[in-house]
A and B are shown apart, each in its own frame.
Chain A
Amino acid sequence: MKEMHRLSAVELRDAFLKGETTALAIANHYLKRIEAYGSSLGAFLKVLGPRVLLQAEALDKKRAQGKPLGKLAGVPVAIKDNMHIAGETTTCGSKFLENYKAPFDATAVRCLESEDALLIGKTNLDEFAMGSSNENSAYFPAHNPWNLKRVPGGSSGGSAAAVAARLALLATGSDTGGSIRQPASLCGVVGFKPTYGRVSRYGLVAFGSSLDQIGPFATTVADAALAMETMGRPCPHDSTCLDLPKEHYKLTRDLTDVKIGIPNRFLENLKPEVQKNFLDAVDILRALGARTVEVDLDVLKYSIAVYYILATAEASTNLARFDGVRYGVRSPSAKTLDQVYDLSRKDGFGREVKKRIMLGTYVLSAGFQDAYYKKAQKIRTLILEAFEKAYETCDAVVMPVATSGAFEAGAIHDPVEMYLQDIFTVPANLAGLPAISVPSGYDGEGMPLGIQIIGPQMCDVSVMSYAYAYEQATKWGRIPPAFLDGGAS
């Protein structure tokens, strides 16, 4: 057996099932790696050491007793710290919730655990998932394993960094405007945002409820598919969760007769190296049998404006519950009810979160709602319709994930420039579409790049399958050099 961290989740699971290793050995190996690399990477807000060891012991016992074992038996999985593991804190990367103990399991977490995944830690994120660089974490920033001076992307930066550095083989993320796909691209791993409603949001602390979707980070497409087979289930606690049977992810390498849509006009003005990387990827898809067609998605140029109206509107109400009355941090200097509200929120929320709450409150206010919120809803409908029209002529749309490779921490000061990082990822959220980020090479500075495949609603399996074909033909996924060895030293 290769060193454990050089295996994929499927390979490690199979090794465990065959008895080549124990769950305890796996847990210890990964805990050791986290100990060695975790702090420099800033990927974890909390390592669930004692918990995962107990879980591993129980899993070994289960195997010894010959009981049936789950699809993720022995696979170390990290959970973004805006999803509940009952009894553990869920901080959302915010000071406000530094003492908040989750009272129940997120459905996605329960699904993973019911398939015998080993939950190894809670990963860092931009506060309340608001950010594209992980610099908005109230605790500490996460770093890019390919270059610690650079950002891992966001908001699920900790999850992306953890999987890229093989501190876990799978991780969960939540994707409201690209928070899985962009960090996956920047860290050189696979990140999948399912069709809206495929994975239950129950137990995910909401940011933009109509946009939020949980999905996996993985080192391979097959591992992402495995995670989706586990998490993509109907859930009675989430009214927006699709009431459909779970899917079987059949992956093929053949793209014969698959029609790939390219929104050329929308993709004008790409950075040259991103454009070259993208065109090379398209060539490979063609070589695999796909045909390319041009699709008109010009309306997507409004995506960022629409997104930052709708997401902040929803967030302003979703975050209203953090008031210092029932849970979370209450300002010790508050003397009156209004002070409980004002000071707790003033102390508890970071700058970006406050900004978005104010923005969202503003766009919903009497007198402004028609100009902002309602207009944005109309454009959201137009975006949905543009995609529907595009899918009349193609099976999937392809575009880059991010406008560049990972940038240096602190490099982007202009908030609008930061928001524009999401230009290629936001459309799939606005339209509720399944979309995947797959490694597609490296930029001139050796930082990973990714391409994005976006499918029609419900076509999660085909999106995953196209990505698999591309991945198998290219194999861009690598372990960052600094994280190759075992970490035992």
Chain B
Amino acid sequence: MKDLPYELWEPVIGLEIHAQLNTRSKLFSPAPNHFGDEPNTNISFVCTGQPGALPVINKEAVRKAVQFGVAIGASISRFSTFDRKSYFYPDSPRNFQITQFENPLIRGGTVAADVEGQSKTFRVNRAHIEDDAGMLKHFTNFAGVDYNRAGAPLIEIVSEPCIHSPKEASSYAAAIRAILLYLDACDGNMEEGSLRMDANISVRPKGETALRPRVEIKNMNSFSFLEMAIEAEVSRQIALYITHPHRSPIELIPPGTYRWDAEAKQTVLMRAKESADDYRYFPEPDLAPLILSEEYIDSIRDALPELPHNRFKRYVSDLGLTEYAASVLINEKALSDYFEAANAIANNPRLLCNWITVEFTGRLKDKGQTLLSLGIPPEHVAKLVQMIDQGKITGRIAKDVADEMVAAPGTDPETIVKNNPDYQPLEDTGSIEPLVDQVLAENPQSVADFKAGRDKAFAFLVGQVMKLTRGKASPQVVNDLLKRKIR
């Protein structure tokens, strides 16, 4: 795969993202919109498709969808309509889905995302409201349907084919997810399927402007799967074009629907498109057009919270975080909010960010925990950073303190430091001075190097002293002593 002349080919990718709106009730019925309950408990006459039941639109879902629309600067249709999309499947209780085909609620809009340190803007074609299907459960000798999810509100967000790499795709999708999280419009829970992605993928020689045949990979619920699937599909297509330079693209890449087999790490054909789907869309006669006033849309626009990309810009320009660090923080709203709360106390954003996104995250990753899930309050991380910042503890000690904070969540780091004499920094010159002398005596070459202007030599000497104090010495004191003695 790696041997493919990647630089000569351009992937062209469009994403369809289905995001479940976290409303209290379903899109067209008062049944609870809630994941994880006993099968077929969160259901009503409407979401099981009982004859005689009729859909009534959920205003909360409309509001959340409009919030998303204004958040990406899209134009919100004051007049949008619903359509029936017909297909037979047991998880579809009416055997048609109610969606917005002809007149979607949201048109246009852009999403900015950080792609490996570079800010890129992606264009959204449209977004519309529709209802989710139930879920099939397969048992040994029969299959059952759980309609708890049937009728859950979705917005389907359709990008332009403006995505050109797997990384761009996952960054764009992560940015969409972040926006929805900041709006509190979607819980963003990938494992539970709150955000599902379909990718339309084609490749073309760089410089070619026409689009070549594309295939669709359906229903991916993780950003890494998304990247892997696109990667695999792009490679497959390039390889085919290279191996058969004289055959027509449509012959080589017949349109079809694929799924990503995470175990085999390859795309698997579900069905070829020759049996073209005919969904027989037509206007849903049970629902009046959705008519929104300009004032309603304005009021939602005026009440928008700070959005991830604005926060990103603030982190980079005001707080001095690197773009990478900022994007790690903002993509998880809860983590970013945690950072905000801690930063209000700690006053050293870069150090704080490092502790939150690197040190603690590293300690918690294997446990499958986060600072939030473990219940370590942001003030505690803030205090830890403050103590480092003020020279009260060394970075070396801070790591031990952090270990203890993780071991006993909720314990104040100041208490941890106070209760352990080993964590008290050595500040008295009296006990450090002999060690400094020892180091200077043992490393004459380094002393000479430093005098010759090599700063690295000085850092080495500091390190040697710290080593002898087992990291407890105040770096400031060591610095001062060394400088004085060498001079």
**CB closest chain-A residue, reference B147:** A326
Nearest-neighbour CB distance to chain B for A87, whole angstroms, equals 14
Asked if A239 contacts B52 (CB within 8 A), the reply is no
Contact B276 A321 (CB under 8 A): no
Check: B345 CB closer than 8 A to any chain A CB: no
Contacts of A403 in B (CB 8 A): none
Of B50, B51, B53, B278, the residue contacting A92 (CB under 8 A) is: B51
A239→B53 CA distance, assembly (Å): 11
Within 8 A of A (CB), among B258-295: 276, 278, 280-282, 285-288
- Whether A100 sits at the interface, judged by CB under 8 Å, is yes
Which chain B residues (34-53) contact chain A, with CB distance < 8 Å? 45, 48-53
Instruction: Convert B50-61 into 0s and 1s, putting 1 for each residue whose CB lies closer than 8 angstroms to a CB of A.
Output: 111111110000
Asked if A47 is an interface residue, CB under 8 A from chain B, the answer is no
Q: Are B55 and A313 in contact, CB atoms less than 8 angstroms apart?
A: no
Instruction: Please give, as numbers and ranges, the residues of chain B lying within 8 Å of A317 by CB-CB distance.
Output: 84, 86, 94-96, 280, 282
Contact B94 A320 (CB under 8 A): yes
Sorting the interface of chain B by its residue count into under 10, 10 to 19, 20 to 34 or 35 or more gives: 20 to 34
A interface residues, tally (CB under 8 Å): 43
Q: Is A106 an interface residue (CB 8 A)?
A: yes
A240 → chain B, closest Cβ, in Å? 6
A-B interface pairs (CB < 8 A), number: 94
For B145, list chain A residues within 8 Å (CB).
Answer: 325-326
Q: How far, in angstroms, from A322 to B93 measured CA to CA in the complex?
A: 9
Which positions in B face A, CB cutoff 8 Å? 45, 48-57, 84, 86, 88, 90, 93-96, 145, 276, 278, 280-282, 285-288
Known contacts A236-B56, A239-B287, A365-B278; is A337 also within 8 Å of B90 by CB?
A: yes
A261 to B307, CA, bound (A): 61
A317-B84, A320-B86, A373-B282 given; A239·B94 CB < 8 A: no
Q: Which residue of A lies closest to B96 (CB)?
A: A317
In this complex, what residue of A is CB-closest to B50? Answer: A103
User: Contact at B278–A90, with CB atoms within 8 Å?
Assistant: no
**A38 vs chain B, min Cβ distance (A):** 25
Query: Do the beta carbons of B95 and A323 come within 8 Å of each other?
Result: yes
Give Cα A84–Cα B50 distance, bound, in whole angstroms: 11
Q: How far is the CB of B237 from chain A (nearest CB, A)?
A: 27
Binary per-residue interface labels of chain A (88-124) against chain B in the complex, 1 for a CB within 8 Å, 0 otherwise: 0010100001001011101000000000000000000
10 closest pairs, A vs B, by CB?
A320-B95, A210-B285, A209-B285, A364-B280, A205-B51, A321-B49, A203-B52, A366-B278, A321-B94, A325-B90
Q: Contacts of A302 on B, CB cut-off 8 Å?
A: none
Q: Establish whether residues B52 and A204, one from each chain, have CB atoms under 8 Å apart when the complex forms.
A: yes
Knowing A104-B45, A320-B94, A321-B94 are in contact, say whether A369-B288 is a contact too (CB < 8 A). no
Contact A326 B54 (CB under 8 A): no
Most central of B45, B50, B278 by chain A CB within 10 Å: B50
Q: Which of B48, B56, B287 has the most chain A CB atoms inside 10 A of its CB?
A: B56
Interface residue SS majority, chain B:
loop
A329 sits at the interface (CB 8 A): no
> A230-272: contact bitstring with B at CB < 8 Å (1 yes, 0 no)?
0000001111100000000000000000000000000000000
Known pairs A322-B51, A323-B88. 8 more at Cβ < 8 A? A90-B52, A106-B52, A239-B54, A317-B84, A317-B96, A320-B96, A364-B86, A366-B278
A361 sits at the interface (CB 8 A) = yes
A202 touches B (CB below 8 Å): yes
How far apart sit A51 and B278, CA to CA, in the bound complex (Å)?
47
Whether, in the assembled complex, A127 has its beta carbon less than 8 Å from a beta carbon of chain B, the answer is no
Q: State the CA gap A317–B82 with chains docked (Å).
A: 14
C-alpha spacing A257/B281, complex, angstroms: 47
Can you list 9 A-B pairs with a CB-CB distance of less than 8 A? A84-B52, A92-B51, A102-B52, A239-B286, A239-B288, A316-B280, A317-B84, A317-B96, A326-B145
A238 and chain B: residue at smallest CB distance:
B54
**Which residues of B sit under 8 angstroms from A239, Cβ to Cβ?**
54-57, 286-288
| Chain A residues in the interface with B (C-beta under 8 A) | 83-84, 90, 92, 97, 100, 102-104, 106, 201-206, 208-210, 236-240, 313-314, 316-317, 320-323, 325-327, 337, 341, 361, 364-366, 369, 373
Query: Inside 8 A of B52's CB, which chain A residues have their CB?
Result: 83-84, 90, 102, 104, 106, 202-206
Q: Which of A205, A237, A238, A313 contacts B282 (CB 8 A)?
A: A313
Which residue in chain A gives the minimum CB-CB distance to B287? A239
Residues of chain B within 8 A (CB-CB) of A238 are 54, 56, 286
Known: A239-B286, A240-B286. A326 touches B48 (CB 8 A): yes
Kindly state the separation between the CA atoms of A240 and B50 in the bound complex, as whole angstroms: 18
CB distance from B136 to the nearest CB of A (A): 10
With beta carbons under 8 angstroms apart, the residue of B45, B95, B282 that contacts A364 is B282
Is the Cβ of B285 less than 8 Å from the Cβ of A341? no
Instruction: Please tell me if the beta carbons of A321 and B280 are within 8 angstroms of each other in the complex.
Output: no
In contact, B285 and A314 (Cβ under 8 angstroms)? yes
- Please name the residue on chain A nearest to B88 by beta carbon: A341
- The answer to whether B51 and A237 have CB atoms under 8 Å apart is no
Which B residues touch A373, using CB under 8 A? Answer: 282
Query: Bound complex: CA of A392 vs CA of B95, how far in Å?
Result: 43
Contacts of A322 in B (CB 8 A): 51
Q: How close is A273's CB to chain B, nearest CB, in angstroms?
A: 38
A residues near B84, Cβ cutoff 8 Å: 317
CA distance A348 to B54 in the complex (A): 23
Interfacial chain A residues near B57, Cβ < 8 Å: 239
In the complex, chain A residues whose CB is within 8 Å of the CB of B51: 90, 92, 97, 100, 205-206, 321-322
User: How far, in angstroms, from A202 to B88 measured CA to CA in the complex?
Assistant: 24
Closest to B87 in A: A320
Contacts of B281 in A (CB 8 A): 364
Residues of B within 8 A of A210 (CB): 285
Write out the residue numbers on chain B whose beta carbons fall within 8 Å of the beta carbon of A90: 51-52
Q: Which residue of B lies closest to A362 (CB)?
A: B280
| Closest beta carbon of chain A to B158's beta carbon, Å | 20
CB-CB under 8 A for A326 and B88, given A202-B52, A239-B55:
no
**List of A residues within 8 angstroms of B54 by Cβ:** 201-202, 237-239
Question: Which single residue of chain B is at the shortest CB-CB distance from A314?
Answer: B285
